[in-house]
Amino acid sequence: PSLCGAEKVSSLPAVQPVKGAGTTESIIWRDAERTFKTENFRKQMIDALELVADGDYHQGMGYFCGFMLLVVPPQDVAKILHKVGTDEKYTPGYWKGQPEAFVRDAMVYQRLIQKRIPAVAEHLQKAALVPEAYAQKWFVGLCVHTMPFKPLIDLFEAFLSEGYMFLFKLSVAVVSAVKDKILETKTGEVNKLFELLRLEKKSFPDTDEDFFFGIVNAAKSMDISEDEIKTLREEENKVLQEKLEKVRAREKELQDEDDDEIEFSDEDDDEEDEAERLARLAAQ
């Protein structure tokens, strides 16, 4: 707790309950069931998350919470979650259903790679891999599903000490560590590229702890300035907001078109899910 100042949090602010809070219909309850086998740990996870999830929730918060419960007293976990999710030193906005802050930072990461490892940036662009599709494993999930326990402890300590800056260093360190394998992989082998970037066990088994320690240590010693990140964040946030405005305008157009049409049917049409909606908009 002292690494992030959580010990100074005397009380947590009231939050808007997540949909279904207190029942088995809550996504938090379902995540707790998937994370832990024992009822005691499940209850600890649910209690901590419901104290800090303010009307919205992202599974990245659950990953972080689950791991922290293994190494930190339960009464401190909610305080740490609060600091990480609200303090500008860390990642406010990442743990939302629509995490615009993460998307912005994924775009910043892409700029860092274009500057520092241009061959990889060009290769991934040819493969049509957007950073939001894989960088969430590092930025939002904090490598909980990609690194073995001991290197992960090191990673968490560095993140809690340094804040969001460490995540940008980590992202560059990950790509540097897998650079050769990426460049050896054909751009058409998208699944293989995802496997490498997500540090999946097929390519990087947990038994090779030195590999993962190497990534964390490289991130710790990497030189990236806060001024550079601040500038890139401002630039990419402007780009992101312009994109979002276009999407919202297009959605409104489609809604207006739907409102102008009246269809009669003997059967109820299935409601379009979120994935279908995004795919349709992307094709416009």
pLDDT by residue (tens digit) across 28-64? 999 999 999 999 999 999 999 999 999 999 999 999 9
What contacts 252, CB < 8 A, 6 or more positions away? none
The average pLDDT across 263-272 equals 46
Whether 21 shows a pLDDT value over 90: the answer reads no
Whether 272 shows a pLDDT value over 80: the answer reads no
Whether 269 shows a pLDDT value over 80: the answer reads no
- Whole-angstrom Cα distance, residue 163 to residue 86? 12
pLDDT at 252: 83
Query: Helix axis angle, 149-162 relative to 164-184, nearest 10°?
Result: 130
Share of the chain above pLDDT 90, in %: 75
The average pLDDT across 213-227 equals 97
Check if the beta carbon of residue 55 is closer than 8 Å to that of residue 95: no
Of 177, 238, 236, the residue nearest 208 (C-alpha):
177
pLDDT at 259: 63
Whether 179 shows a pLDDT value over 90: the answer reads yes
The average pLDDT across 202-216 equals 97
pLDDT per residue over 84-143, tens digit each? 999 999 999 999 888 999 999 999 999 999 999 999 999 999 999 999 999 999 999 999
Check if the beta carbon of residue 122 is closer than 8 Å to that of residue 183: no
- pTM, two decimals, is 0.85
